[in-house]
Structure 1
Amino acid sequence: MKLGLGVAALLALIGCEEVLTPSAAPEPRPVPPPPAANAYVPPSAASQDLARFYQRIERDLLARGLLRTDGGGPDTPYDASDLERNFEAIAFYSEYPNHSISIGSRQTDGQLSRWVGPVRIQTEFGPSILPATRQKDAADVQSYSARLARLTGHSISIVTRKPNFHVFFAGKDDSAYVVSRLRQLIPNISQASLDLVANPRSNFDCFVFASANTSSPNKYVRAVTLIRSELPDLVRLSCIHEEIAQGLGLSNDSPAARPSIFNDDDEFALLTSHDEKLLQMLYDPRLKPGVSVDQARPVVRIIARELMGQPL
């Protein structure tokens, strides 16, 4: 640098015209890349408090012998009559008869509802969920979806485009994100549903919305499941099991169902042998969407006895 300045001064002293070489254009400053879509944002103190609240609940349930993962055993016997009764209660009626959190008009209590076309599941995450947790949850949904496809014989798969069954994992801080996404996905979603998503009560740790076409109110064409990210591992996995199965058509709970996740007593965390048979019954081709409980009863009796190996 000093040598260059000396040459310029010498040229000026001897009266020579300095020939200046145009300098190169300055390199533009690198522009930082935009943040990745839905990039991770650490949870707030309120979200962390909620996570601790759910951890205490899970510890209490486990201490009382609940949230079983064994699928049932000798202490939970059931026969074909139990299966028949429980299927009728769980598959033909809705857990929310007032439809306060529905995204469609399912005025169909007393009739069978399920999917006819392929179920295409996509998992989405709110910004407050750690990348490692996202990977684990996505893997759990994928594994469970494959199990459901085997049980039902129905087309159920994980997709990255054109989904019709959305599984959202989102926390207390992600309400605006989820509400925005739901408005994109379901333009006719009710305000009551949006309010529930935006400000979920602490006793709503997960839930599912399912809807059908107006012309075919018993044939599901779309579903959305929301699972709180603050939930500890086992309760979050139990939500995956129950809500996706309910979104397939087992839309009610029954206090008489045992061993079953379709019972509000929290005895079982994961899908049981009893529940597997309910799903097989739901997608048995001898039962059609829209059939009434009275019309279906003789067929349900036959299927239940076939599954249990009991004579008719």
Structure 2
Amino acid sequence: MPPCPKRLTRTLAGIACLSALALAGCTPSTAGYTEVSARHDAALPQDMPPMNRFGPERTDPPSRSNAEIARDFLDLSFMMESGRPIERLSRFEGPITVAVAAGAPATLGADLDRLIARLRAEAGLDIRRVGAGDGPAGITIETLPRDRMQRVVPQAACFVVPRVSSWGEFRRARSGGTLDWTTLQTRERVAVFIPSDVAPQEIRDCLHEEVSQALGPLNDLYRLPDSVFNDDNFNAVLTGFDMLILRAYYDETLRSGMTRAEVAAALPEILSRLNPRGNRSAGGRISPTPRAWIEAIETALGPGSSDRARIAAAQNAVTIARNAGWTDGRLAFSHFALGRLTLSSDVETSVAAFQRAAGIYDRIAPNGIQTAHVDMQLAAFALSSGRADEALRLTNAAMPAATRAQNAALLSTLLMIRAEALEDVGRASEARAVRLDSLAWGRYGFGASAAVGARLTEVAALSPGG
């Protein structure tokens, strides 16, 4: 199976990206791969279809009350992911400029322009793109090969650092305290580093994740179902909640240097003005996320542990979540992780875990991207079990959310599963059309033709008809 695309989360210590698609656990033997690779319908066409791109984003406003959003804002803005407190708010003061260093992949420019347009329209930011030769920009985006990045920061997929504008500056500053976000008074120069040799979707995801951090909050919260500020990585493009957070972050009532108490005092008026639909009673109290649960999730889904240790860590995460009385996305994510890790060793446990996760996600984020990921896993299992009609139902249910979330890798895989299921029920001409569409999305989601072909072969191997 191709490796999971990863984005390093904001403190250079993230977990494996969960928008990747773990199908290996449902895959038959190596002989199945040999047979499938010879099937004409499972092979890449000589002329690949053009890359599909998504249209304008359609974001929904946050559904939580302003009191809950204020709590989220404070926890996002005054804490690092490591748990270190941030004493004072820091942000750019005045117009914000963004530059891209020479050598960036062709798709980055268009995706960055769309992001900047959204930040202007939805977050109300005074932000614009400038040429790399127009002097130091507030935010500089530099791309370089993944291997070169990881020789310096081994876990890095993409990341952001303050007070520098280039890779060379970053390397020279690593030994001192220059890159410490907690010492900032005002943001003046920030650098975003993104791999140049990954799929267009991963580049876009890095832009959204790291530019949003360069501008605003430095923390992630596992409890947020509708945000990129969440290490579960289900949401990859900025949501309506995220845009509200950034709009509030740059409200004229706030300024760099304010303390948590000062910001807390100002937030009710800010959010009431920016989000009048949120002026209602708050929900129940949210308990903090203990380090023990975070470490269990990182062990379960990160590199460097045996399969047995990862499954044990996922089971521990479920136990911690249940003992804490959680009923939110943290419990659902614990079940999701357990389902992912037991696919190849204990199908009954895996399916049960996915179904428990789906039940929670259906309640807290109806028809959302989280449920779409679960449905993809269950559709793959249904296909491998000879239940093509069930695979068709699940993929049909998941595709709208994958499209809304602009996740081309997920959408491509759903279409590949759907094509195999259509083949299995005798709808060959429809299967060919769906498979061709999956390749067009795969070019954006997976990148190189070899990566698209590997995923196509992997999905085809699930079908008993292969």
> Separation in 2 of the partners of 1:306 and 1:81?
13
State whether structure 2 residue 242 is matched by structure 1 residue 275. yes
State whether structure 2 residue 137 is matched by structure 1 residue 171. no
> Separation in 2 of the partners of 1:232 and 1:252?
26
State whether structure 2 residue 197 is matched by structure 1 residue 208. no
Closer, same or farther: CA 272–62 of 1 in aligned 2, 3 Å:
farther
Q: Deviations over 1:98-148 (max 9, x none)?
A: 7xxxxxxxxx7132110003222111255xx6xxxx221012112212221
Q: Is the partner of 1:218 in helix, strand or coil?
A: coil
State whether structure 2 residue 231 is matched by structure 1 residue 257. no
Closer, same or farther: CA 63–270 of 1 in aligned 2, 3 Å:
farther
State whether structure 2 residue 83 is matched by structure 1 residue 112. no
Q: Deviations over 1:231-274 (max 9, x none)?
A: 32323211110100100122111122231000001121110111
Out of 55-64 and 161-170, give the one that drifted further.
Answer: 55-64
Give the greater-gyration-radius structure (CA).
Answer: 1
AA aligned opposite 1:83: I
Q: 1:292 Cα deviation (Å)?
A: 0.7
> Separation in 2 of the partners of 1:278 and 1:247?
14
Q: 1:72 Cα deviation (Å)?
A: 6.9
Which residue pairs with 1:147 in the alignment?
A: 118
In angstroms, what is the RMSD of aligned CA positions?
Answer: 3.4
Unaligned runs of 5+ in 2: 7-15, 24-55, 165-177, 281-466
Unaligned runs of 5+ in 1: 1-48, 99-107, 176-196
The runs of at least 4 consecutive aligned structure 1 residues that moved more than 4 Å come to 55-60, 69-74
Q: 1:55 Cα deviation (Å)?
A: 5.0
Aligned pairs for 1:40-119 (under 5 A) are 52-54=2-4, 61-62=20-21, 77-95=63-81, 109-119=86-96
Closer, same or farther: CA 259–60 of 1 in aligned 2, 3 Å:
closer
Tell me which of the two structures has the higher relative contact order, counting C-alpha pairs closer than 8 angstroms and 6 or more residues apart. Answer: 1
Closer, same or farther: CA 257–110 of 1 in aligned 2, 3 Å:
farther
CA contact (8 A) 1:165 1:224 kept: yes
> Separation in 2 of the partners of 1:234 and 1:297?
36
Which residue pairs with 1:305 in the alignment?
A: 272
> Separation in 2 of the partners of 1:124 and 1:171?
14
Which residue pairs with 1:159 in the alignment?
A: 130
Q: 1:81 Cα deviation (Å)?
A: 2.1
Aligned pairs for 1:180-195 (under 5 A) are none
CA contact (8 A) 1:71 1:259 kept: no
Name the structure where strand makes up a greater proportion of residues. 1
> Separation in 2 of the partners of 1:252 and 1:125?
30
- What is the TM-score when the length of structure 2 is the normalising length? 0.42
- Aligned-residue identity in percent: 24
AA aligned opposite 1:165: I
> Separation in 2 of the partners of 1:124 and 1:293?
35
State whether structure 2 residue 109 is matched by structure 1 residue 138. yes
> Separation in 1 of the partners of 2:75 and 2:215?
15
- What is the TM-score when the length of structure 1 is the normalising length? 0.60
**Among 198, 206, 214, the residue aligned to 1:239:** 206
CA contact (8 A) 2:248 2:270 kept: yes
Q: 1:275 Cα deviation (Å)?
A: 0.5
> Separation in 2 of the partners of 1:217 and 1:210?
8
CA contact (8 A) 2:18 2:232 kept: no
Closer, same or farther: CA 281–248 of 1 in aligned 2, 3 Å:
same
> Separation in 2 of the partners of 1:154 and 1:55?
30
Name the structure where helix makes up a greater proportion of residues. 2
CA contact (8 A) 1:114 1:220 kept: yes
> Separation in 2 of the partners of 1:60 and 1:270?
12
AA aligned opposite 2:64: Y
Closer, same or farther: CA 308–60 of 1 in aligned 2, 3 Å:
closer
AA aligned opposite 1:262: F
AA aligned opposite 2:122: L
Which residue pairs with 2:324 in the alignment?
A: none
**Among 134, 137, 152, the residue aligned to 1:199:** 152
> Separation in 2 of the partners of 1:299 and 1:206?
33
